[in-house]
Structure 1
């Protein structure tokens, strides 16, 4: 698949403490825990919306324009409505709830 310039998440592994909040907030599963820290495991799964950014209390995440493979819309099509709503509720709730 050809690469295009688009917004994609970048993890600063020096700032990441491995709390996992960003992974829970990621709607598509693009972020996973690798060696105790968050990591973008598949750029095709990053939707570029940044729901993970607000979940990180350590400012370890940012969106950047990068050459990356196109977003895999099939991921969204496979999610159930209930799963999507649960993820959205987790990302929009104030910290501590």
Structure 2
């Protein structure tokens, strides 16, 4: 699973601050550089991006949370039997 976060290994100084700050432990140090090793648990909180002093971490996409609609798209319909009985009465 690819990560939305991008880590530029040329800019990464290997300080490890992002590893410590990541609340879900998605980022780890590999060969002295930060790597998103668990993208499936990354919540894209962007704490690591904000903390990175060298600018090595970026999230080129804006994450937008959309609330579900408050109005149900399901409409109540009378049962067929009731419709038939109404027609008979008319």
TM-score, normalisation: structure 2: 0.61
Q: Which runs of 4+ in 1 moved over 6 A?
A: none
Contact 1:12–1:60, Cα closer than 8 Å, also in 2:
yes
Instruction: Report what 1:61 is aligned to.
Output: 57
Q: Which has the higher contact order (CA 8 A, sep 6+)?
A: 1
CA distance in 1, matches of 2:42, 2:8: 16
Written as runs of structure 1 = structure 2, the 5 A alignment for 1:60-79 is 60-65=56-61
- Runs of 5+ in structure 2 lacking a partner? 62-90
* Structure number with bigger Rg: 2
- Runs of 5+ in structure 1 lacking a partner? 66-97
CA apart distance, 1:42: 1.5
Written as runs of structure 1 = structure 2, the 5 A alignment for 1:1-97 is 8-65=4-61
The number of residue pairs the alignment matches comes to 60
Contact 1:8–1:47, Cα closer than 8 Å, also in 2:
no
Contact 1:8–1:46, Cα closer than 8 Å, also in 2:
no
Deviations 1:6-53 (CA, angstroms, capped at 9, x unpaired): x82111000001000111111110000000000000210211110111
RMSD: 1.7
CA distance in 2, matches of 1:16, 1:37: 6
